[in-house]
Amino acid sequence: MTAVPALVASLTLLCSTALPTSAASAYDLRPRAWGNNVNGQLGDGTAKTQRLTPISVVGLSGAEVDAIAAGGTATTGFAMALLGNGTVESWGRNDKGQLGNGASGTTDEWAVPSLVAGLAGVEAIAAGGSHALALLKDGTVRAWGLNDKGQLGDGTTTDAKLPVTVSGLDSVKAIAAGDSFSMALLQDGTVKTWGGNDKGQLGVTPRPAKSTDPVPAPVPDAKTPRTTAVAIPELTTVKGITAGASHALAVLADGTVMSWGNNDKGQLGDDSAVNKPYPVPVLELKNVTALSAGSQHSIALLQDHTLRGWGNNANGQVGDGTTTTRNTSVPVPGLSGVAAVAAGGAHNVVVLSDGTVQTWGLNDKGQLGDGTTTQRLSPVQALARSSSVSMVAAPSSGNFSLAR
């Protein structure tokens, strides 16, 4: 990837806004975290204590942080930071080796950042359920952590405590990680996927010959994980990718979006609730510049710096002020000047062009950062205006948030 300035967890930004940092204090430049902290994923040196308002991640000077990523599930969490020198630090849950520091164990939790071993020249990072990816400047990809579904892409299903090379990948410019699958966008605009495919999230199943034919079961099936990267045949002009828990989206060169995988709550935006193991168009959506996906919902950032959302809305995560599930995209009212967006399990985090951070959706662990555990159907403020904040991250199945 050629200099992607503001990577959000599981999100490739196509219009990231570099906000001025000259007037920011050292405190302002530190990454902040809030929400669930059961595994030390907030990086403040503690564990088990959730935070209802943002706190600073220990030991990281934000001036050297180029990207942040958040991973985990509703009961686990870990996070990463890409530093300006091309190395990566990680913290939080490490039971599957997802921190990449050579250690792992059922009780392993690292409440402060530590170095991912053996990585240099990193250009982008992504975090999944219990695995992580790093894109190097030479266009190759490294992976580590849980590998039960082949999500590390090294041809095995063996977990890795240290980074391993994803087989058969080069000329990669963006990466994304779901719960148990992984994605790579290549320089030629094609997409490759690997890992679990129980919901069709790899997108490689052939499309039916007729639109009236039944949707086929995913191939490979749940019992046959894809341990190496394979191209999605129908995608050729992709500019950005994102991975939700078990669904994925791609924005094309013309600003339209394709989606595939789990669709039980309409998160594919194709006006149905039927899983699709091949790409389908997201309806009523154009002029998209960036995407993010949560557990069962999706968010799109448009050229005019507004948002549209769709999918599960039981906790208000779509952001339209209701709890009505949406099978096609609807506007997120009251937000303008959006510079970056990240979708968590059932919440969202955005940073505006003035550095203000706003959130909405589920808030049972304080993941909205507004000092309460009250869910919000419309955006509330987590961080006041700052000249330094330009990145946000949240795990696609989890319940904590990051900003820098």
* Mean pLDDT value across residues 369-392: 92
Measured distance CA(177)–CA(132) in Å, rounded: 7
**Residue whose structure tokens are 């946000």:** 392
The confidence band for 26, taking pLDDT boundaries of 50, 70 and 90, is low
The closest alpha carbon to 88, from 62, 63, 55, 121, belongs to 121
pLDDT at 18 exceeding the cut of 60? no
Which pLDDT value is given to residue 388? 79
DSSP string, 236-297: -SEEEEEE-SSEEEEEETTS-EEEEE--TTSTT-SS--S-EEEEEEPTT--SEEEEEE-SSE
Neighbours of 17 (CB within 10 A): 17
For the chain, percent of residues with pLDDT exceeding 90 = 84
| Residue 27 within any structural domain of the chain | no
The confidence band for 106, taking pLDDT boundaries of 50, 70 and 90, is low
pLDDT at 326 exceeding the cut of 70? yes
Which pLDDT value is given to residue 5? 34
Which pLDDT value is given to residue 15? 35
| Residue 15 within any structural domain of the chain | no
Which pLDDT value is given to residue 152? 98
* Mean pLDDT value across residues 277-294: 97
| Residue 357 within any structural domain of the chain | yes
Show the tokens assigned to 336: 């303008």
For 227-281, the pLDDT digits (tens) are 999 999 989 999 999 999 999 999 999 999 999 999 999 999 999 999 999 999 9
Which pLDDT value is given to residue 149? 97
Which pLDDT value is given to residue 224? 87
| Residue 108 within any structural domain of the chain | yes
Which pLDDT value is given to residue 25? 54
* Mean pLDDT value across residues 90-117: 90
Which pLDDT value is given to residue 11? 41
pLDDT at 1 exceeding the cut of 50? no
Peptide bond into 277 cis (omega under 30): no
Which pLDDT value is given to residue 188? 97
The closest alpha carbon to 75, from 129, 11, 112, belongs to 129
**Residue whose structure tokens are 């939700």:** 244
Which pLDDT value is given to residue 3? 35
Q: What is the CATH number of the domain that holds 357?
A: 2.130.10.30
For 165-184, the pLDDT digits (tens) are 999 999 999 999 999 999 99
Which pLDDT value is given to residue 49? 87
The confidence band for 63, taking pLDDT boundaries of 50, 70 and 90, is confident
Neighbours of 5 (CB within 10 A): 13
Query: Could you list the residue range(s) of the whole structural domain that residue 392 is in?
Result: 32-403
> Is the Cα torsion angle 399, 299, 388, 123 positive or negative in sign?
positive
Instruction: Return mean pLDDT, the chain.
Output: 92
**Could you say which DSSP state residue 62 is in?**
G
Which pLDDT value is given to residue 387? 67
Measured distance CA(292)–CA(14) in Å, rounded: 12
Ranges 152-166, 206-220, 319-333: which has the least confidence: 206-220
- The answer to whether the CB of 42 falls within 8 A of the CB of 99 is no
Which pLDDT value is given to residue 41? 97
Which pLDDT value is given to residue 225? 86
| Residue 350 within any structural domain of the chain | yes
| Residue 8 within any structural domain of the chain | no
The closest alpha carbon to 301, from 357, 251, 354, belongs to 251
Which residue would you say has higher pLDDT here, 267 or 15?
A: 267
Coil, helix or strand at residue 361: strand
Query: 32-35 and 51-56: which strand pairing?
Result: antiparallel
For the chain, percent of residues with pLDDT exceeding 70 = 92
- The answer to whether the CB of 245 falls within 8 A of the CB of 396 is yes
pLDDT at 17 exceeding the cut of 60? no
| Residue 46 within any structural domain of the chain | yes
- The answer to whether the CB of 202 falls within 8 A of the CB of 189 is no
Which residue would you say has higher pLDDT here, 6 or 278?
A: 278
Which residue would you say has higher pLDDT here, 188 or 12?
A: 188
244 Cβ partners below 8 Å, 6+ apart? Answer: 10, 178, 261, 262, 267, 293, 294, 295, 296, 297, 298, 343, 396
Q: What are phi and psi of 347, to 5 degrees?
A: -145, 170
Which pLDDT value is given to residue 27? 54
pLDDT at 8 exceeding the cut of 70? no
Count of domains observed in the chain:
1
Neighbours of 223 (CB within 10 A): 6
Measured distance CA(159)–CA(226) in Å, rounded: 15
Kindly report whether the global pTM for this prediction surpasses the value 0.95: no
300: β partners:
291, 308
* Mean pLDDT value across residues 47-74: 92
Which residue would you say has higher pLDDT here, 72 or 388?
A: 72
Which residue would you say has higher pLDDT here, 111 or 19?
A: 111
* Mean pLDDT value across residues 358-370: 98
| C-alpha 213: how far from chain center | 33
| Residue 335 within any structural domain of the chain | yes
> Is the Cα torsion angle 96, 396, 46, 111 positive or negative in sign?
positive
